[in-house]
Amino acid sequence: MAKGITKRSEDYAQWYTDLVLRAELADYAPVRGCMVIRPHGYAIWEKMQAALDRMFKETGHVNAYFPLFIPESFLHREAEHVEGFAPQCAVVTHGGGKKLEEPLYVRPTSETVIWYMYGKWIQSYRDLPILINQWANVVRWEMRTRLFLRTTEFLWQEGHTAHASMEEAEEEALRMLNVYRTFAEEYMALPVIVGQKTELEKFAGAVRTYSIEALTQDKRAIQAGTSHNLGQNFAKAFNVTFLNKNNELEYVYATSWGVSTRLIGALIMAHSDDQGLVLPPRLAPIEVVIVPIYRTEEERQQVLSVAEKLATQLRPSLTLKLDDRDTVTPGFKFNEWELKGVPVRVEIGPRDLEKQQAVLARRDTGEKRPVPLPQVRGRVETTLEAMQQDLYERALAFREANTFPVDTYQEFQEILAEKGGFLLAHWCGDSACELAIQEETKATIRCLPLEASEEAGECVRCGKPSSRRVVFAKAY
């Protein structure tokens, strides 16, 4: 166990908090519920941003920036939206020492201000589609917060698109859901279930909400991204119409979609261990660290000279750190880089020099192997690829081992209490029944999986007919 980190088996929640603080990913801010993202945590966010931004651009999107402040009246234009968001908004009532004529909401999300602007920019079908993404911060006054998972202010991206038809909007919402899924699987090494949210769980103001859902090591669900088909709701609220090809006025169709710094919480919960952070190589700010080992000054010079040569060979293709600090021992360095989740460590000492080799240590398995010096670069690269793949396979096997079809309410409650995980159960489609299950068991419907097959059954609680299973879990 790393110093200062509670074991997962003792207290999973405390393990998570200890890890975030000790690995220097984030720290508590002076304002309750806010967090400081420290350089190591921010570097992970930058890797995520870079990959996602590239994927957004490859699917035709462009970036823009809209203001932080939203007039109070805007939020009130869409009835469900104001009901969903107003209670958790921060409101600015004074500016420049004077009371404002109209209070300003600090954005909890930007649909309202963006659709106000789209009203100025859209006249005809020729102005469509608009495919804009924004990287920004948002504020939601949360009562119970946890570093990365739920904070009062967080960083995210929000895509806001405008379309000429419902079909196009639906296609876009599903396209972006799929982008999120690809990102989760290929970069985060995180298997996810893609599905539709129930009426009760959908975004305030959406026609349909889709999400990707992952399973944490303590067998709870974590929503990792959402994509909404907003239909014409925001266009109606902001009176945004366009002349269609038949020269008729029609309201514009919309989508919005987002992921946030919560992804870092999901990433930690998916792969990390009692030694600290375990990062999939594609999101690791430092892929490989070289630790020279020596006692005498003569050894130091010999080892460092080889270590520097090795670093030069590796640097063109890898993000690398040569840890040549004299102030701490090699053992201290090993622990620190394990804590911070560097995927591969290369150790070089005097005995390795005699054999013209280095020792490669892999973070997730702890495996250590000697490698002849000329082969180090190739071996580091294959190890990183293998680790990326193995982390995904391990997480997938874990999810499969913790996904249970259940057919009776008794079985549902027993498995939920004893094992947790994803429960696949029939549900009648009634919100009242969904709410009752939630109150009685604390489990929510995570989604109606898009890839589930039709299967006749009976609602696990009320016995009414159902045509397919949905995914229940306790969630973060």
448/462 with CB nearer Zn ion: 462
Please give the Cα distance from 53 to 253 (Å, whole number). 24
Strand partners, 368: 361
Site string for Zn ion, 389-428 (x = CB under 5 A): ---------------------------------------x
Q: Which stretch binds Zn ion (CB under 5 A): 114-122, 330-338, 393-401, 453-461?
A: 453-461
Nearest approach, Cβ of 461 to Zn ion (angstroms)? 5
CB of 200 to Zn ion, least distance (A): 13
Only one of the segments 35-43, 190-198, 317-325, 433-441 lies at the binding site for Zn ion (rule: CB under 5 A); that segment is 433-441
Whole-number minimum distance, CB 457 to Zn ion, in Å? 11
Say if CB 84 and CB 230 are below 8 A apart.
no
The three state secondary structure string of the chain is: CCCCCCCCCCCHHHHHHHHHHHCCCEEECCCCCCEEECHHHHHHHHHHHHHHHHHHHHCCCEECCCCCEEEHHHHCCCHHHHHHHHHHCCEEEEECCEEEEEEEEECCCCHHHHHHHHHHHCCEHHHCCEEEEEEEEEECCCCCCECCCECCEEEEEEEEEEECCHHHHHHHHHHHHHHHHHHHHHCCCCCCEEEECCCCCCCCCCCEEEEEEEECCCCCEEEEEEEEEEECHHHHHCCCEEECCCCCEEECEEEEEEEECHHHHHHHHHHCECCECCCCHHHCCCCEEEEECCCCHHHHHHHHHHHHHHHHHHCCCCCEEECCCCCCCHHHHHHHHHHCCCCEEEEECHHHHHCCEEEEEECCCCCEEEEEHHHHHHHHHHHHHHHHHHHHHHHHHHHHHCEEECCCHHHHHHHHHHCCCEEEEECCCCHHHHHHHHHHHCCEEEEEECCCCCCCEECCCCCCEECCEEEEECEC
Provide the minimum distance between the beta carbon of 253 and Zn ion in the complex, in angstroms, as a whole number: 32
Q: Which CB, 381 or 458, lies closer to Zn ion?
A: 458
| Contact flag: residue 433 with Zn ion (CB under 5 A) | yes
Distance, C-alpha 226 to centroid of its chain: 10
Q: Which stretch binds Zn ion (CB under 5 A): 36-44, 71-79, 171-179, 432-440?
A: 432-440
- Binding-site size for Zn ion (CB under 5 A) equals 5
Select 54 or 464, whichever has its Cβ closest to Zn ion: 464
d(CA 12, CA 6): 8
Toward Zn ion, which CB reaches closer, 141 or 409?
409
If the CB atoms of residues 115 and 427 are measured against Zn ion, the closer one turns out to be 427
Residue whose pair of structure tokens reads 């009246």 in the numeric block: 73
Q: Does 448 bind Zn ion (CB under 5 A)?
A: no
Is the CB of 194 or the CB of 459 nearer to Zn ion?
A: 459
In the complex, least distance from residue 434 CB atom to Zn ion, rounded to whole angstroms? 8
For Zn ion, the binding residue among 92, 304, 462, 475 (CB under 5 A) is: 462
Considering the complex, what minimum distance in angstroms separates the CB of residue 470 from Zn ion? 11
Nearer of residues 63 and 408 to Zn ion, judged by Cβ: 408
Per CB under 5 A, 43 contacts Zn ion: no
- Of 34 and 428, the one with the shorter C-beta distance to Zn ion is 428
Please, which residue, 119 or 457, has the CB nearer to Zn ion? 457
Least separation in angstroms between CB 456 and Zn ion: 15
Question: What does the block give as tokens for 393?
Answer: 């396979």
* Minimum CB–partner distance for residue 430 and Zn ion (Å): 5
Stretch of residues binding Zn ion (CB under 5 A), selected from 10-18, 283-291, 346-354, 452-460: 452-460
What minimum distance in Å lies between the beta carbon of 419 and Zn ion? Answer: 23
Closest separation in Å from C-beta 427 to Zn ion: 6
Q: Which stretch binds Zn ion (CB under 5 A): 93-101, 182-190, 194-202, 430-438?
A: 430-438
Which of 459, 470, 471, 473 contacts Zn ion by CB under 5 A?
A: 459
Closest to Zn ion by CB, 177 vs 425, is 425
**What are the residues binding Zn ion (CB under 5 A)?**
428, 433, 459, 461-462
